[in-house]
Chains A and B, each alone.
Chain A
């Protein structure tokens, strides 16, 4: 079981924080900061888990997720969605699109770590 995570997020400080947390836990962390070629990057990196922001420049996280789920190769890929808009309809949207897990910013580092471990362990 690999420990390879791809973080798709446009806020540099948040990328830095997540990278620090997961690296310290032994994960290999790749990052990507826009929506345009996010799907291609997922295919290229072939991570064990994707952490996906909703509000991305170029293409929204929901659109990326739908494309991933439509593709057989990434159909079952664990995806943790992060959003800063913390409203119920965002959560519903995420579940509908097939997010494995959904978290609202700001998050606690421990929660993120637990969630990532659980998702990959379950995967």
Chain B
């Protein structure tokens, strides 16, 4: 008989070996040994899925419920074989986003929401607590078995104190190896290696017991088969609902359990390891489950009724006097329990310290110490306290629940708890429409339902939930009974709880996601998660030192310019004592380089670029956001410059235009002066010449009279010219004062005809009027309008070259506007001259009618002042002018 003391000694020795393994592995990892991160270690580390629950509990489960225990293996196997691409995506996202835990992943996906992280953390801790209690219980029970066999006095005091010391021991081990250092990627090579060793130990132990049972106790395979057929296990009815639920739960647990996430994603060294694990891990599970039924059947046959079937793995060898085998089996169970607690404590403490303790501490201290060395210390302390806290919670649950419930039942409570994360997790990495609000709502609802229907009742009636609530529902509401929500009765409690919690969780998650809109950061993160395969390079094939330096040089040349970059690299290489342009990328050099680059592209971009090349690390969202900020600033600056340059060129154009206008005005002024000179000198020539002739005397009276008349006429012409010029100048300056009053259009036309007739000496121009001339009253300056009419009529009189000259005045009223057309029956104005008639001093063709060519220019100015216009109407047969003016001109005009 192995004594308890020997057992304790073996245990301590085993732990010491684990310490050694972990220590050596840690040292080897620090030196960069490749074999540590091999696919086999990875696969074996995944075996923490098989805890004491599977080691001891599976046999008990089989003894109680037949083959149903297989579902616990079936779920993970299905995931690994059929859904390994989902795992690959998780691993890729985990690496690309430098995810530290499942809470970090969920929070990161949904816009870095710490609230979500806190939610997942609390859920995980609460869900893990019974599970840790389970491990403590299994170790305690196995100790008890030996103690009882030992028959010593220690047995009576054993359970509570054993559990306590086991908890303390596990906490110490975890603290020592889980928080040795603060890696950026949270990898723990020592712990992983220790777990791999434990995985081998527990598999060997279980296989050894199985082999012993089949060939040592029973009479070989055939005998065992017969016994199975004879036992109750062979006749068990399969409950489809429970099978489906359990398979789903174990599959969900594999994805959502914090400790599984830790070994599968966080501790993953290379993505290709997953390929090996995808068949090796199911194989491991198969081996673990291979001898479960034989052990259960033989145990049931062999052991007296009432023996705890959970401990058959221990008690069967013991009953056969196989102390050594029992010891190995005990170590196997011990390994299962410890490895689970250690990894769970590490994973949970990372979550607790990162998402709960650190934010609170930073808030309390104002975040001022972020860059100082203090933070490292604080983080480590937070981790250690969290680990102790998590293990202690498990111990507390163990004490509270009295350690009575069957192992498997406790495990399932945990599984259902962490399964609440599944909708947010799967939705988050596959569905772009998933939002933070949806994840939070789904998680909250699922968590609440799970607490009420599963977790709280698990303590037993009256411990937390009063018996009355269990029987009659919360507040006496029948439909709120924890085991029959909404009156759906008769379901297995497990199936009931899982359907309601996960079902409502998923529904609420979908509904709220659809009803809410993601923030920009969520959108960005969502895209990165969902399209992780497009966004990130497959890891592997890292850069050598030279390749890195070369890449850095190429990038730097592009940014700094070839000469500067080469000078920088050359100087650094010389400082390092290396020939050429490729120095080792030491941290100091990288810092210098980053500083140089940030002068050109901004600090965040520089950091991201250097990090991309040297670390092979992916650019994080913060990096991208910082880059975007810098880019935005640069764009703002450059758009300012652009605006200034536009402003300058606009000013230059305005100056150029002003200059052109001045030049044009100057040319116009010259031309105008020249014209005026001509118009003044011409009549003066006649006047001077004839006055000289008259002065000389000796002329007959008729001649004298004729020449005096010429002088008189030319003097009048000069006066009229000066009048016109002054008139035009006043009109053009806009200083004309209008005398606005009401007048009848017909009266104005009458006056104009009379005046024009008098002025031109009454040649026979026939004038007709069309339209409602008599009824039209207008409010305008009648004298000015008359002046326009006189001009147009006398022009017709002067220039109409028809045999029977005729002018038609056609009046049309269009709303508030009046159109008066003056159309004669002459040959009109040639098309090329039509644009010119309104210009000053323009005279058309050979016509010599005594005007200076200012009449129409004056008309145009007058009409502009009267709020109307005068224009030439082409294609009317003869010359045609259209006057347009408002019926009522505002008094205030001009």
Which A residues contact B (CB, under 8 angstroms)?
10-11, 13-14, 16-18, 20-21, 34, 55, 57-58, 84-87, 104-110
Contact = CB atoms under 8 A, between A and B. Distances in A.
A57 B846 contact: yes
Given A57-B845, A84-B678, A21 B685 contact: no
Given A84-B677, A85-B677, A87-B677, A106 B685 contact: yes
B681 A84 contact: yes
B693 interface: yes
Contact of B674 (A11, A13, A87): A87
B688 A108 contact: yes
Q: Which of B678, B685, B690 has the most CB of A within 10 A?
A: B685
A16 B685 contact: no
Interface residues of B, number: 22
A89 B713 CA distance: 31
Contacts of B692: 108-110
A13 to B, nearest CB: 4
A106 to B, nearest CB: 4
A85 to B, nearest CB: 5
Contacts of B693: 17, 20-21, 109
Interface in B655-680: 674, 677-678
A29 to B, nearest CB: 14
Nearest to B690: A17
A21 B713 CA distance: 20
Interface of B: 674, 677-678, 681-690, 692-693, 710, 713-714, 845-848
Contacts of A110: 692
B684 A34 contact: no
Contacts of B713: 13
A107 B688 contact: yes
A34 B846 CA distance: 8
A107 B710 CA distance: 17
**5 residue pairs, one from A and one from B, having the closest CB atoms:** A17-B689, A84-B681, A13-B686, A106-B685, A106-B688
A87 B675 CA distance: 11
Contacts, number: 64
Contacts of A16: 710
Given A11-B686, A105-B682, A86 B677 contact: yes
6 contacts: A13-B713, A21-B693, A34-B846, A57-B846, A58-B846, A107-B689
A107 B688 CA distance: 7
A100 B749 CA distance: 54
A21 to B, nearest CB: 7
Contact of B685 (A11, A57, A85): A11
Given A106-B687, A109-B689, A109-B692, A14 B678 contact: no
B681 A105 contact: yes
A84 to B, nearest CB: 4
A85 B688 contact: no
B846 A106 contact: no
A104 B693 CA distance: 19
A91 B684 CA distance: 20
Contacts of B710: 13, 16
A55 B684 CA distance: 16
A10 B845 CA distance: 13
A106 B674 contact: no
Given A13-B710, A14-B686, A57 B848 contact: yes
